[in-house]
């Protein structure tokens, strides 16, 4: 069973905490134990897990990704959004999280973030649940 979640980013680059939305899929499906795969089918967006307590952590990640991958430079891709493609590959396209007793087994400070690198636009996030047998 795959569930599609629509995410609407409001700026060019934006990390959006989707932990509650993903937990909502688990609640809806009634899975108690298993695995949760969260995946983005896009080439200029990503998925990561990091701290959702202090927003400065996400700000630092965004700021340092900008230093690693400048907005302009010697890019060949004619569409002009190579920085977004590169950041997408650096961050990755999926995370896998254990489910126990119906809850995501995230650490105390962890959240799941959808990472927009070429917004604003509507995006899809796919949540796939695998039930433990």
* 39, β-bridge pairs: 94, 126
Rounded to whole angstroms, the Cα distance separating 95 from 114 reads: 11
Contact with Zn ion (CB under 5 A) among 27, 33, 66, 79 = 79
Rounded to whole angstroms, the Cα distance separating 44 from 98 reads: 26
What is the per-residue binding string for Zn ion in 80-119, x denoting contact by CB under 5 A?
-x--------------------------------------
Looking at the Cβ atoms of 38 and 84, the one nearer to Zn ion is: 84
Identify whether 120 is preceded by a cis peptide bond (ω within 30 of 0).
yes
Looking at the Cβ atoms of 23 and 44, the one nearer to Zn ion is: 44
- How many residues interact with Zn ion (rule CB under 5 A)? 2
Looking at the Cβ atoms of 80 and 98, the one nearer to Zn ion is: 80
CB of 65 to Zn ion, least distance (A): 17
Looking at the Cβ atoms of 92 and 98, the one nearer to Zn ion is: 92
The enclosing H or E element of 123 equals strand 122-131
CB of 132 to Zn ion, least distance (A): 39
| Cβ(94)–Cβ(40) below 8 Å | yes
The yes or no reply on residue 121 touching Zn ion (CB under 5 A) is no
Rounded to whole angstroms, the Cα distance separating 30 from 129 reads: 10
Q: Which positions touch Zn ion (CB under 5 A)?
A: 79, 81
């Amino acid at each position: 069973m795959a569930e599609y979640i629509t995410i609407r980013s409001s700026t060019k680059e934006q990390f959006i905490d989707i932990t509650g939305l993903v937990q909502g899929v688990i609640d809806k499906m009634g899975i108690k134990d298993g695995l949760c795969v969260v995946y983005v089918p896009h080439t200029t967006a990503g998925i990561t897990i990091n701290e959702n307590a202090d927003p400065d952590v996400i700000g630092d990640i965004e700021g340092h990704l900008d230093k690693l991958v400048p907005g302009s430079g010697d890019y060949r891709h004619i569409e002009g959004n190579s920085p977004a493609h590169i950041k997408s590959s650096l961050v990755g396209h999926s995370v896998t999280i254990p489910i126990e007793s119906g809850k995501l087994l995230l650490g105390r400070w962890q959240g799941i973030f959808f990472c927009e690198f070429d917004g604003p636009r509507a995006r899809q996030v796919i949540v796939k649940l695998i039930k433990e047998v």
